[in-house]
Amino acid sequence: MSLAVRLLSVSALAIACFLAATFVVVILQVRERTVAITLKQAEAEADARAQAMSGKIEALTAAARSLAGAVERGIASGGLDRARIAAMLPAQVEKFDLVFGAWMVDTEEGLDGKRGPSDDAVQGTNTDGVFTPYWVRGAGGLEMLRPAAVDRQAEYYRLAATSMKGAATEPYEEAAANNLLMMTVAQPVIVDGRLVAVTGLDIGLGTLAQSLESERPFGEGRVYLLSGGGKWLAAPDASQVMKDYAAEGAEKVKAAIGKGETVTLEGVAGSDGGTVYRVVRPFELPGLNARWAVAVDVPATAISSVVNEQTKILVIGGLFILAAVVGSLLLAVRTFVQRPMASLLGDVGRMSEGRLEQPVAGQERSDEIGKVAVALEAFRHRLADGRRLEAANAEQRQLSESERRQSEAERARAAEEQRKVVEALGRGLADLARGDLTCRIVEAFPPSYVELRDNFNDTMDSLERTILQLNATVHSLNAGIGEISRSSDNLSRRTEQQAASLEETAAAMNEIAEQMQTSTRNAGDAAARVNEACADADRSNAVVRKAITAMEGIEDSSEKVARIIGVIDEIAFQTNLLALNAGVEAARAGEAGKGFAVVAQEVRELAQRSAQAAKEIKALISASSAQVQEGVTLVGETGSALTRIAEQVLSVNRLIQDISASAREQSAGLQEINVAVNNMDQVTQQNAAMVEETTAAANLLNDEAGTLRDMVMRFTVNGAAEALRHRAAA
């Protein structure tokens, strides 16, 4: 179902519900107003009927009152007697169709204070002389009756006589007249303030009832008449006449008649079995001190027909309005919704197909569709920008991939170069730790490591030269010590022979002097060489410290590289996190974010590969740092060995200085021997003691030289140096 159909359906349903609710309210109001208007009209009808009835009764009452007045004036003037009065009565019957009869009854005192003649038809008296003429409509016309018995306590007489005013009896059925429904209107005849008679008219109510029964207000309505005592005078059914009102609301009707107030009864059963509204309108009988009531029945169908007619009009009008509104809505929806929406859907279809060159139509509209068109236009621009951005991202990805491959190649190459450098340094340091001073780093190093290789080779060259010089010094020292040992031996033999042959003393002493001078020189040379060896040892120690400093620099550089790799790892982690967030946002964006999701995935993979490469480089740097640390330890041990060698060389230097001093003393002794041969024996003894000391010192020096030789023998040097080392060992 399309949006327009749904909108029309909802709108039509809403309008129909609104119209239905409005119709219900209007119909209820129409019904209420119709009931009110109809009941008002019914009250007006009842009032009109009551006035008409009252007018008719008033005319008869006026006639009776006029008759009584004429009789009063005639009696008072003496111009009327019983015969004339009796002759006046037929005119009243002839004058009014409703009058059944006219009558007069005098008091017990009579009209003129006495009774009239007995049974006088002309005088209108009965057998008792009571004046009681009664003119009625008979079969042959008017005839006068003279009732034999007169009941002055009956209502027709008593009411007027007692009240001295006009009165009306309750309606009754006259048995003598075939149960004719009648009522009596009586007027007192008062002469000089004295009641002399009561005159009246008997009114037939059948004609009045028939006139009401023929009326049909509101088409099917009925009009009824009720007496003051609540009896039916004109009833829905003839059998109810002169019976008490017993229909719905009887008590209300009786109370209304008693109070003279109009009452409306609802839901009363009508004569035809239908439901009616019954309006009971009491009215006064003028001058008779009596009250009747007119009842008007309004059929419920009379009201419902009006309501139904109004309902039909409203329904037809509502359907017309609904059709007009739905048609207008259909036209409006097609004009303002379907066509613009179709255009928007076409634009959306084009955008979904990737055709973004045509702008969205309807942007100039000021309604919601215009806003949607503006939003779609912005979306079209974003899609176009996204497409351009996607192309740029693809190009950027290719560039990044190329740079990544290049960077990985460079990192791999750098790692390989560093590995080779570390391996070469490790081999060199291992050879150095084994005492091999002939090792050199001959591999080609990257430019950034060439200085490190040169420093290592220079260190090894300097250390080898130092060891070579130390080897030569040790050789010289061994040679000097050998000479000293031999001289000491010769001196010992000569000293032993001195006692036997003093003659040979001078020659021997001269030879000894020469030998001592040679020994002195040799000792000086040995001391100088030992000093040089000590200086070389100090320089070697400085070189070793430089090597340690260089290795520590390598270690610091490795730590810096490790920190940089850590930064790269952190950047890779943050990039991975940003790529993950971008992927989540792209997933929220739906179809529009697929390109961003692909880019985020690529960036995430790059970040993961960068992090993995950084971890591998970090592991290599850690291994290199450990190897460099081991090299630093080995170089430190080499420095310690050189320091011990320097200390031993200094000890040898002190011993050689002692030997030189001893040689000088021997030379002085020989001079003394030459000066004082006489003291030869003493000198010989002293020389023997000195020879023993010299022998001991030579032995000690020989031991120290052996120790130094053993220490130097730990190092491996080139071929020439190796030959010297073997000779020294020999």
What's the pLDDT tens digit per position in 640-698? Answer: 776 777 677 677 667 777 776 776 777 677 667 666 655 666 667 677 677 777 777 77
Among 133-142, 470-479, 583-592, the range with the most confident prediction by mean pLDDT is 133-142
With bands split at pLDDT 50, 70 and 90, how would you rate the model's confidence at 719?
A: low
Q: Determine the average pLDDT of the residues in 624-636.
A: 72
Say if CB 294 and CB 53 are below 8 A apart. Answer: yes
CA–CA distance, 408 with 410 (Å, rounded to integer) = 5
Q: Are strands 263-269 and 99-106 parallel, antiparallel or unpaired?
A: unpaired
What pLDDT, on a 0 to 100 scale, did the predictor assign at position 496?
65
CA–CA distance, 258 with 255 (Å, rounded to integer) = 5
Backbone phi and psi for residue 163, each to the nearest 5 degrees, phi listed first = -85, -15
Closest CA relative to residue 183, chosen from 85, 281, 101, 244: 101
CA–CA distance, 411 with 616 (Å, rounded to integer) = 10
Residue of higher predicted confidence among 51 and 157: 157
pTM here? 0.43
Of the candidate ranges 70-79, 231-240, 423-432, 521-530, the one whose mean pLDDT is the lowest: 521-530
Per-residue pLDDT at 188 exceeds 90: yes
What's the pLDDT tens digit per position in 439-465? Answer: 888 777 788 777 877 888 888 888 878
Residues 6+ apart with CB under 8 A from 220: 272, 274, 299, 301, 302
Q: H-helix or E-strand containing 198?
A: strand 194-204
What pLDDT, on a 0 to 100 scale, did the predictor assign at position 137?
86
Per-residue pLDDT at 721 exceeds 50: no
Q: Determine the average pLDDT of the residues in 283-297.
A: 83
With bands split at pLDDT 50, 70 and 90, how would you rate the model's confidence at 328?
A: confident
Q: How far is CA 580 from CA 399, 586, 640, in A?
A: 22, 10, 56
Per-residue pLDDT at 217 exceeds 50: yes
Q: Spell out the CATH class of 3-303.
A: alpha beta
SS3 of 718, please?
Answer: coil
SS3 of 279, please?
Answer: strand
Q: How far is CA 182 from CA 173, 239, 667, in A?
A: 6, 16, 205
What's the pLDDT tens digit per position in 220-270? Answer: 778 888 888 888 888 777 778 888 888 888 888 888 888 888 888 887 877
Across 310-339, b (16+ Cβ under 10 Å) vs e yields: bbeebeeebeeebeebbeebbebbeeebbe
Per-residue pLDDT at 730 exceeds 60: no
CA–CA distance, 485 with 567 (Å, rounded to integer) = 70
Residues 6+ apart with CB under 8 A from 505: 498, 673, 677, 680
What's the pLDDT tens digit per position in 98-135? Answer: 888 999 999 988 887 888 888 888 888 988 889 999 99
Residues 6+ apart with CB under 8 A from 607: 572, 573, 575, 576, 579
What are 276's two structure tokens?
């009616």
Residue 623 neighbours by CB distance under 10 Å:
13
Of the candidate ranges 411-415, 587-591, 719-723, the one whose mean pLDDT is the lowest: 719-723
Say if CB 540 and CB 715 are below 8 A apart. Answer: no
Q: Determine the average pLDDT of the residues in 191-213.
A: 85
Residue 619 neighbours by CB distance under 10 Å:
12
**What one-letter code names the amino acid at 45?**
E
DSSP code per residue over 48-100: HHHHHHHHHHHHHHHHHHHHHHHHHHHHHHT---HHHHHHHHHHHHHH-TTEE
What pLDDT, on a 0 to 100 scale, did the predictor assign at position 728?
46
Q: How far is CA 263 from CA 54, 276, 612, 693, in A?
A: 19, 14, 106, 171
Per-residue pLDDT at 198 exceeds 90: yes
Q: What is the mean pLDDT of the chain?
A: 77
CA–CA distance, 299 with 304 (Å, rounded to integer) = 9
With bands split at pLDDT 50, 70 and 90, how would you rate the model's confidence at 621?
A: confident
Closest CA relative to residue 690, chosen from 715, 729, 645, 658: 658
Across 102-133, b (16+ Cβ under 10 Å) vs e yields: bbbbbbeebbeeebbeeebeebbbbeebbbbb
Q: How far is CA 346 from CA 5, 333, 343, in A?
A: 19, 18, 5
Residue 436: DSSP 8-state: B
What's the pLDDT tens digit per position in 355-392? Answer: 767 777 767 776 776 777 777 777 777 777 777 777 77
What's the gap between Cα 553 and its chain centre?
Answer: 61
In the chain, where are the structural domains located? 3-303, 421-551+643-729
What's the pLDDT tens digit per position in 521-567? Answer: 776 777 677 677 777 767 777 776 777 777 777 777 777 777 777 77
Per-residue pLDDT at 611 exceeds 70: yes
Say if CB 339 and CB 4 are below 8 A apart. Answer: no
Q: How far is CA 360 from CA 355, 381, 475, in A?
A: 11, 10, 103
What pLDDT, on a 0 to 100 scale, did the predictor assign at position 645?
73
SS3 of 298, please?
Answer: strand
Of the candidate ranges 142-146, 204-208, 412-416, 569-573, the one whose mean pLDDT is the lowest: 569-573
- Surface-to-core class of residue 218, CB atoms within 10 Å of its CB (0-12 exposed, 13-18 middle, 19+ buried): buried
What pLDDT, on a 0 to 100 scale, did the predictor assign at position 649?
67
